[in-house]
Amino acid sequence: MESQGTQGTQGGITVQRALELPGLRGGLPEVVAGAERLQRTVRWVHAGEVPNIASLLKGGELLLTTGLGLGARPAEQRVFVRKLAERGIAALVVELGPRFTRLPAAIVETARAAGLPLVQLHREVPFVTVTEEVHTEIVNGHYALLQRAEEVHRRCTQALLGGGGVPQVLNVLADFSGNPVFLETADGQLLYAAGAGTECADPLQVWEGLRGQHKEGPPAGALLVDVPGGGPGSGSVRARLVLLAVESALLPVHRIAAERAAGSLAVVLMQARQEEELAARGRGDFLTDLAEGRILADDAPAQARVLGFKPGESPLLPVVMRLADGLPPGGGWAVLARAVAEELAAVGVPVLLGVRPVEGRVPLLLGLRSESERAAVADRVATALRAGVERAGMQRAGALPPVVVVGVAGGWAAASAGLRHAAETATAAQGLVDRPWYDARRLDIDLLLWRLHNYDDSALAAFVDRAIGPLRAHDRRSKPPLLPTLQTYLAHAGRKAETARELHLNRQTLYNRLARISELLGTDLDDPQTVLALSLALRARRHVA
């Protein structure tokens, strides 16, 4: 690698290099202050003779002057030099002549104190020639820098065309920078690490030792470059390249190279994500075809083995997760599939996981050791599914939580029917009181009402209005509301003591409310047919609200 002070390393030239060019060399330059800082980078050249020249500069300039703006008094000269140092110019070059035959002590002492390189020229030089020479060197330096970065990009492309992936791209960048390179997620989780040759420290140890100590931000001297995600102009970040200055300092050329490498990594990650999503969709298609009878139970085991699912003779447990409406049909589903799969790895049973973005569903089959562990496995699977949704960022604020429905365990024929039943039930269960998971067998009434709602919404709405319409009207204009009382009463199968206890009412108040409900509805709450109709109407009202 080139040292920091050489030409082209940072896309500019140093003060030392500028003094070696013919224009300034012809002026017989003498460094009278800041000799130890001649490796500063010259960003640009500026010539001026006004007292307030510092306000016109941005930093990094080589300032050429004959001293006309330096002031006549020592105090003015000190202020002039101090402001230039505060502005961060690369160096001050003063041509001796009519204004100064020798630089005043006030100027030299202030420059030394401020660490500002100060050069006096003993012969007159054309400032325009100096400017042209230095600017040409700067442009050439930038071009050389871009060439070196482009070489890194070429090597990354060759690695990808040769069948390599993310590790190979990181290795190219690590070799070029002479430092460890890491790829982390947007929230700081490590994905890949690469060292810089066999003599360097283990990059994972470096990560834990340096990056792990800086949770709130990157370590000093680190270089971070975003790897874009999504489509062009989306502004989203899929991952982040991190270069740590362990073996040597990181320079601007390394940032340019990292930005080139980030473009290559974006393509790799996009391709991997597309392949991952296609695979997850393929498994989802298989499970859907099985549920809808397009794959026979006898043929299913062989096709499942091709997809990596080998439960043997174990009972199969069908599960379907339904996400809230309004989620995008693509984009995050590959991330969701990976996140859920990683969470399910801890469940400890064979799993076949797929996605169905159009329906907003995640169907899966699990191989149980015995049917007796159905509830315990369902608990762990539901927790894993919800955690995966959270990790994938697919739970929108204010949206309904995901619905997880667990079917009946059995063989392949039962799995086919169970997946179909669970898929429909998961849709019908949206809007119910949130639970970790629902048993498909206990939601048949809700499924029936949902089907009726889809078949003839007006008929279901008319039924609800006939059954509990007067109560709904009462609750809109009067207090206390009576529908919660009726719902709790029916949930406790007409047991008044339990109803009063749950509602925190004394018995007489409950009796009065039940009497008022009977009066408004014109029905007898002890009649079995009335109780059945009211129970159905209460469960159906969420479909027609």
For the cut 70, the answer to whether the pLDDT of residue 71 exceeds it is yes
For the cut 70, the answer to whether the pLDDT of residue 93 exceeds it is yes
Question: Is domain 296-443 given the CATH code 3.90.25.10 in the classification?
Answer: no
Question: What proportion of the chain, given as a percentage, has pLDDT over 90?
Answer: 35
- How do residues 35-66 score in pLDDT, each as one tens digit? 999 999 888 899 988 989 988 898 889 999 99
User: Could you tell me the residue ranges of all domains in the chain?
Assistant: 13-138, 164-271, 296-443, 456-544
Token output for 253: 């050329």
Sign of the dihedral through C-alpha 231, 233, 235, 238: positive
Q: What is the mean pLDDT of residues 217-239?
A: 67
Could you tell me the end-to-end alpha-carbon distance of the chain, in angstroms, rounded to an integer? 71
Fold that domain 456-544 belongs to in CATH? Arc Repressor Mutant, subunit A (1.10.10)
Between these two residues, 124 and 230, which has the higher pLDDT value?
124
For the cut 70, the answer to whether the pLDDT of residue 218 exceeds it is no
pLDDT band at 200 (very low <50, low <70, confident <90, very high): low
**pTM of the full structure:** 0.52
Q: Which of 85-89, 310-314, 354-358 has the highest mean pLDDT?
A: 85-89
Sign of the dihedral through C-alpha 50, 138, 34, 222: positive
For the cut 80, the answer to whether the pLDDT of residue 211 exceeds it is no
pLDDT band at 9 (very low <50, low <70, confident <90, very high): very low
* Contact yes or no for 70/43 (Cβ under 8 A): no
Cα gap 271→252, rounded to integer Å: 29
- How do residues 152-182 score in pLDDT, each as one tens digit? 888 888 878 877 778 888 888 888 888 888 8
For the cut 70, the answer to whether the pLDDT of residue 207 exceeds it is no
Helix (H, G, I), strand (E, B) or coil at 181: strand
Q: Can you identify the CATH homologous superfamily of domain 164-271?
A: Dynein light chain 2a, cytoplasmic (3.30.450.30)
Average pLDDT in the chain: 84
* Contact yes or no for 291/423 (Cβ under 8 A): yes
Between these two residues, 377 and 245, which has the higher pLDDT value?
377
- How do residues 489-511 score in pLDDT, each as one tens digit? 998 988 999 999 999 999 999 99
What is the CATH architecture assignment of 13-138?
3-Layer(aba) Sandwich (3.40)
